[in-house]
Amino acid sequence: MFSLICITCRCLISLLEYHVTEKTHICLIVLLYAALMASQLHKTLLCATLLLLLLLLPRTPLVKASLVSQGRALLHWKATLRGPQSLRSWNLNSSPCNWTGVTCNYPVAGRGRSAITEISLPSMGLAGPLDALDFSTLGSLLRLNLSYNQLGGAIPPAISALFRLVSLDLTSNQFTSKIPVGMGSMKELRFLSLSQNQMVGAIPPSVSNLTGLVSLYLEDNKLVGVVPKELGRLHELMYLDIGVNRLSGSIPSSLGNLTKLHHMYLYQNQLTGRVPSSFGNLTKLQLFFLWRNQLSGPIPFEIGNLVEVTDLDFSENLLTSSIPSSIGNMTKLKFLSLQMNQLSGSFPGSVAKLSKLRELRVFDNKLSGPLPMEINNITGLTYLELSNNSFVGYVPPNICKGGALKYLTLDTNNFQGPIPTTLKNCTTLERVRLEHNQLTGDVSQCLGVYPHLYYMDLSYNQLSGTLSPNWARWHNLTLFRISNNNITGVIPTEFGQLTKLGELDLSSNDLQGEIPKSFGSLTLLYNLSLGNNQLVGQVPLEFGMLSNLRLLDLSSNNLTGRIPDELGNCTNLGSLKLNNNNFSGTIPLAIGNLVYLQDTFDISQNSLTGEIPSQLSKLMMLQSLNLSHNYLSGHLPSSLTYMTSLSTVDVSYNELDGPVPDSPAFRRAPAEWFAYNNDLCGVVQGLPPCVSLGTPTTDDRSKRHKIVIVTIIASVVFFLLLFVFIGAFHKRKKDTVPVDNNHIKEGAFCILNFVGRDVYKGIIEATEDFDAKYCIGSGAYGCVYRAELASGKLLAVKKIHLPDTEGTCDEQPFQTEIQTLTQIRHRNIVKLYGFCSSPRHKFLVYEYMERGSLGSVLRSETAAELDWVKRVSIVKDVARALFYMHHDCTPPIVHRDITSNNILLDSEFNACVSDFGIARLLNLDSSNWTMLAGTRGYLAPELAYTMRVTTKCDVYSFGVVTLELLVGAYGEELISILSSSSGNNVFVKDVLDQRLSLPVARVADEVIAVLTAALSCATNSPESRPAMKQVYENICAVKTPQGCGSLDALRLSDLMNADI
């Protein structure tokens, strides 16, 4: 009996001290009862049984840490955090179970003492280390979520003490350590996310010990090394994301063992070798992304086994061979992207089985042969992009059979035959690229009215027919090229209705008739090419209204009359070609206004007369000047030496005489550029030297005496007039703001199209020496003043805040940088005329923008004038400017201070970016690793710790400005909302500017697309932000994310993770 009592007590102690299941409890109780009631022999047997059971009891101790000790551990950690205002409820006056983000429960089967089982603090603004948290007191924890904060440093190895943890989410913080090897002992883990941090080192093979793991997210870090083959042991894994790292080596075939996988992301690494054929075992896979690696070899035939895959992206690799026909088995495919590889062979006809396909991209490969006609059966196709291959044959006739096609890009292939007439009714088209093929037929019979079309390029084909007036109903068109074809007839006057048009290229056709005067309405036009046609008549005077024009090519036509003075109003022109026409008269003096002419000014092969105007010397950026084959006479102006950028100058076949200007461009020029003139001489090799006169005769001496007398008299008269002028000036000066001439003499001035010192004086007088009443705005680098010169010209003058070290500032780099900035020409960048610099002042002179800054408009009563159409247009303008700076400039230029105050609006609400290059200008000795430049609230978060300025910093600022424009308040406020725990549940309609009614129909789609792009740009991780090229192309394409639904029911969370 005594032994039975001992066993009974031992059982009770075990029940209290160790975790046993409810069934075990019942069994022990039954055995104890039976032992008490049984005979002596049976008691002995039952006692033995009980002892055996005790030995088999689980030896895992109950959580002995009390709530008090757990709370103290959390408070100790809180004390190490910076700005933990969101944890105000964490204090000793209340139970930890009532603290924000803390959940208590019974850790094991609802028994034992209540303990902390969950800590959930996502997007709480927490900053600081994690190693101050005593994990040993939190053995009861089942879930830990600290995602989307600013926690940094190392992930402490002690975290492995959380042996019961089921879910660990540290997404989007600033952890910089290696992944702790000890994590492999946390065998209860089902969900592990360390993504969007700065984790380094290799993925530890010990992760494979987490055999119950369902989700593993390690993307967007700095992980290196190989993909561990041991990951193939995680047989329960359904979601694997290790993209956007620096992993190398081959993909282990053992990953083919993960047969429960739904999503596999290995994209944007440095992986090499082949795609394993074992991936054919992943029959439950739905999303499969391997893009932007260095994978080679063929796409395995076994890929056809992945019948559940909806999205497949193998783009931007080195894959070779043909596309396997087995791909036709993947009947649930919606997105297939194989572009930018080295795939060859023909396109498989089995693709016709992919009836659910929406987007097909295989551009930039080596594919050949005809397209299978079965492609017509994919009726839901919205994107078909096959550019830059070697396809031949006809374009499938029913390519838009389903009426859903938006993007059709078949350019740079060898397609022949007509454009399918069925495209005439494909009203969904937005972007069409068919250039560089061998297409034929009457183009007017196969193109219809496309209300959403914004891009159409049919150039370099063999198309015939005429330009249809109906095409003027492409109201959203921004680019139209149909050059190098056989188009005849006249240019329809109705084309003047294409008011969004930025580029129009009709060159190298057989067009006749006159240039429509209605082109003067195309005020957004920046490229107009009508060269190499049979156009007649005069250049319309209305061209003077095209102030955004950067390239005008009217060469090789039959145009007549004078070159209109109005072209001098096209002050943004960078290239002007009027050669090979029948122009007569003189060269307009107004050509000197085209100070941004840089590439070419060509008026050769005409019938121009008169002298070469000295105003051409203002074209200081011009590289190529061709005046040959005219009837120009007189001397070459000596002021042409100021054209320091000239590399070629051809004045042959004229009637010029006298000396050639002495400058490098002329000295290097071959003699044939000056041939067939009257009597040119001078520095050019091959021309005769300019000889001085010999001994003068009596008549010569008499003439010289007369000249001397006349000169003396003229000089006396000149000085008398000069004294009168000086006296009048001093009298006037008493009534005006004084100007320190010493400062003027010592300063540097470069105001394009103005006389520098006169402008300096005019600005000082117009602003009363920068009186505050003329200040119209201020920014990070200075105040902006409105200056109206005596001539009536309005200027915006930014007076730069001089740094403390100005006395030691090297002036030459400053002036050189300004000269560079004045060469930047873009219709969405505020024009910089030049600068004035002296020991007293440094200021920049810009064109004046009537409506001021976007920020001031948004914060004023006039904000209601900014309807949704204007706001979307402003976003596109800013994106276009940044696209130019980041992708069209070499090297790319970073603005560094994109804010709503640095975006200016003209009278039509067209937006221009200002303060372009000023941050760089004031830190000329710095590199991209520079001191923090920019405005608080718009700065990319990584600048706080990396100090490295990249184009992705501009992308972030663009996202904040766009959010500000859509919300009507500081974009930082919306980012704060998004980072809060309730941010995901906010409806889009509730955050849009409440001063406007909700957008509808097409405008609503554009607003959603712009908001999606803004959210993508304003993400914390720079690697996750898109490039401005991608942003601009997508917001112009109005690619609303799939599945977003109506605006009324749309939540921000629906857009935050959408691809733009």
Ranges of each domain in the chain: 2-56, 699-732, 736-848, 853-1060
| Cα 14 from chain centroid (whole Å) | 65
What average pLDDT does the segment 6-28 reach? 45
Which amino acid is present at 683?
V
Give the span between the Cα atoms of 143 and 152, in whole angstroms.
20
| Cα 821 from chain centroid (whole Å) | 21
Give the tokens for residue 430.
Answer: 């937005």
Residue 989 marked as a ligand binder:
no
Residue partners of 596: CB distance under 8 A and separation at least 6: 571, 572, 573, 574, 621, 823, 825
**CA count, 13 A, side-chain hemisphere, 928:** 12
Confidence of residue 730 (pLDDT cuts 50, 70, 90): very low
Tell me the pLDDT tens digit for each residue of 623-639. 899 999 999 999 999 99
Give the tokens for residue 84.
Answer: 């933990």
Kindly report the number of other CB atoms within 10 A of residue 1021's CB atom: 18
Q: Nearest-CA neighbor of 591 among 567, 621, 627?
A: 567
Give the tokens for residue 473.
Answer: 């109903």
Residue 917 has what pLDDT? 55
Residue 987 has what pLDDT? 79
The answer to whether domain 736-848 and domain 853-1060 are alike in fold is: no
**CA count, 13 A, side-chain hemisphere, 268:** 12
- Cα-Cα-Cα-Cα dihedral sign, residues 668, 672, 677, 679: positive
Instruction: Check pLDDT > 90 for residue 924.
Output: no
Residue 57 burial by Cβ neighbours in a 10 Å radius (0-12, 13-18, 19+): middle
Say if CB 308 and CB 287 are below 8 A apart: no
CATH superfamily of 736-848: Phosphorylase Kinase; domain 1 (3.30.200.20)
Q: Nearest-CA neighbor of 956 among 976, 975, 969?
A: 975
The full DSSP string for 599-630 is SEEE--SSEEEEEPPGGGGG-TT--EEE--SS
Confidence of residue 754 (pLDDT cuts 50, 70, 90): very low
Give the span between the Cα atoms of 868 and 1008, in whole angstroms.
11
* Partners of 529 in the β-ladder: 505, 553
Angle at 560 between CA 556 and CA 563, to 5 degrees: 90
Give the span between the Cα atoms of 227 and 271, in whole angstroms.
9
The H or E element spanning position 961 is helix 951-967
More confident residue, 552 or 112: 552
Tell me the pLDDT tens digit for each residue of 672-728. 899 999 989 988 888 889 875 443 433 444 444 444 444 555 554 555 555 545 554
The H or E element spanning position 631 is strand 631-634
Give the span between the Cα atoms of 103 and 130, in whole angstroms.
20
Say if CB 530 and CB 554 are below 8 A apart: yes
Confidence of residue 37 (pLDDT cuts 50, 70, 90): low
**Domain covering 853-1060: architecture:** Orthogonal Bundle (1.10)
Give the span between the Cα atoms of 146 and 131, in whole angstroms.
14
Which residues are catalytically annotated? 897
Give the tokens for residue 324.
Answer: 């396997």
Give the tokens for residue 899.
Answer: 């804010």
* Partners of 576 in the β-ladder: 552, 601
Residue 925 has what pLDDT? 40
Residue 918 has what pLDDT? 57
Say if CB 1047 and CB 966 are below 8 A apart: no
Residue percentage of the chain with pLDDT more than 70: 79
Intra-chain end-to-end CA distance of the chain, in Å: 78
Residue 811 has what pLDDT? 57
Residue 794 DSSP code: E
Give the span between the Cα atoms of 63 and 691, in whole angstroms.
108
User: Among 123-127, 515-519, 808-812, 887-891, whose mean pLDDT is lowest?
Assistant: 808-812
Give the span between the Cα atoms of 403 and 381, in whole angstroms.
9
Tell me the pLDDT tens digit for each residue of 43-66. 555 555 555 554 444 443 444 458
Tell me the pLDDT tens digit for each residue of 367-425. 999 999 989 889 999 999 999 999 999 999 999 988 999 999 999 999 999 999 889 99
Residue 790 has what pLDDT? 81
Asked if omega into 61 is within 30° of 0 (cis), the reply is: no
Residue 22 has what pLDDT? 41
The average confidence (pLDDT) of the chain is: 83
More confident residue, 697 or 6: 6
Give the span between the Cα atoms of 179 and 115, in whole angstroms.
28
The H or E element spanning position 881 is helix 868-883
Residue 703 DSSP code: H
Say if CB 932 and CB 943 are below 8 A apart: yes
Q: Cα Rg for the chain, rounded, in angstroms?
A: 38
| Cα 143 from chain centroid (whole Å) | 38
What average pLDDT does the segment 522-536 reach? 95
Q: Nearest-CA neighbor of 1014 among 904, 913, 872?
A: 872
* CB contact burial 860-872 (16+ within 10 A = b; e otherwise): eeebeebebebbb
**pTM check: above 0.75:** no
Give the span between the Cα atoms of 569 and 95, in whole angstroms.
75
- The CA distances from residue 1035 to 533, 548, 870, 1005, in Å, are 35, 22, 14, 10
Give the span between the Cα atoms of 457 and 433, in whole angstroms.
5
Residue percentage of the chain with pLDDT more than 90: 54
| Cα 256 from chain centroid (whole Å) | 37
- The CA distances from residue 1057 to 585, 790, 1060, in Å, are 63, 55, 9
Tell me the pLDDT tens digit for each residue of 612-671. 999 999 998 898 999 999 999 999 999 998 888 888 899 999 999 999 998 888 888 888
| Cα 229 from chain centroid (whole Å) | 37
